[in-house]
Amino acid sequence: MSAVVQLPTGEVLTVWAAADVFLDSLGSPNTVRNYGIGVGKTAERIGEGRRSASVADDEIGEALELLWGTAAVGTWNSRRAGVLSWLGWCRERGYEGPAVPARAKRMAVPDSETPARSKMAIDRLMARREVHLREKTLWRMLYETAGRAEEILGVNIEDLDFAGRRCLVKAKSARSKVRRRGQVRGDFVLETVYWDAGTARLLKGRTRGPVFVTHRRPGPGKIVNLRDVCPDTGLARLSYGQARALLDEHTAVRGPGTGWDLHEYRHSSLTHLGEQGASLLMLMAKSRHKKPENVRRYFKPSPEAIAELTSLLAHGDSKR
């Protein structure tokens, strides 16, 4: 166990003493290294020998702005977090001192850099003769469901509702129904994804087992879950790595690893729906995002839609 670090008692607490004893209290070397930069440079900026109680909140904000106001978002958030933890730690121990001002907010992470492929590019890729039916089906299903690749690859034919063009998937961070070891898919709360005619036309062939399988059987001695093997052919479920490599093989133009990513189908699908005027709530329902900020970048109402909405505020006879 690490020793309990005590702040000086019966004497004036200086900025540097507060910073030093806070960093000594941290157990992880990585945390000390990360927080040390923010805390150390901030303490140096406002004056190491000053009494902590004499430092104003705005001085902390100004120091942060001067030191990292033009840095990358991740750097700003990291340095701010270190200073925030430092000052909060001191206050919890009864010492007067400044706080990080409200104006020095944590910055939101920029929008994803995942590119949105055009509908024409997606259709053209799926129309190529050399692309296997398995890949065409997977890519079309990813696009029409706006599902995550891991979710769609984990689906079995028995899970599919062909008439309703839908199926249940084990979503990312799926909530567990029960707490026990060796949980199976049915132990988690499943979510529904929907596809359209393009996927429906391609879903054909086998009647049970994983929807997407490899062209080979598992090697001798390899332990595979029964759900992950087709009972008729003995072929194993297609993995995320294999699916990604297949997509890269057909889309790379500057060598291996430069092609499309599987996530681009989900991103493109939501982008196209947003461009077509889908509401924020409908985009959340389709993507199954829980927070509006995660899907807001796809919400792109047209100028005509904004104008029509504004007309609802018109008074009396001025309504059109």
Catalytic site residues?
148, 177, 263, 266, 289, 298
- Exposed, middle or buried: residue 268 (CB in 10 Å: 0-12, 13-18, 19+)? buried
| DSSP conformational letter for 102 | T
Query: If DSSP states are collapsed to H, E and C, what string results for 170-238?
Result: CCCCCCECCCCCCCCHHHECCEEEECCHHHHHHCCCCCCCECCECCCCCCCCCCCCHHHECCCCCCEEC
- 63 within 8 A of 100, measured Cβ to Cβ: no
Question: SS3 of 51, please?
Answer: strand
- 205 within 8 A of 234, measured Cβ to Cβ: no
CA 303 to CA 290: how far, in whole Å?
Answer: 27
Which whole-number Å values give the CA distances from 130 to 114, 125, 146, 245, 246, in the listed order?
A: 26, 10, 25, 15, 12
Side chain identity, residue 157 = I
| DSSP conformational letter for 70 | T
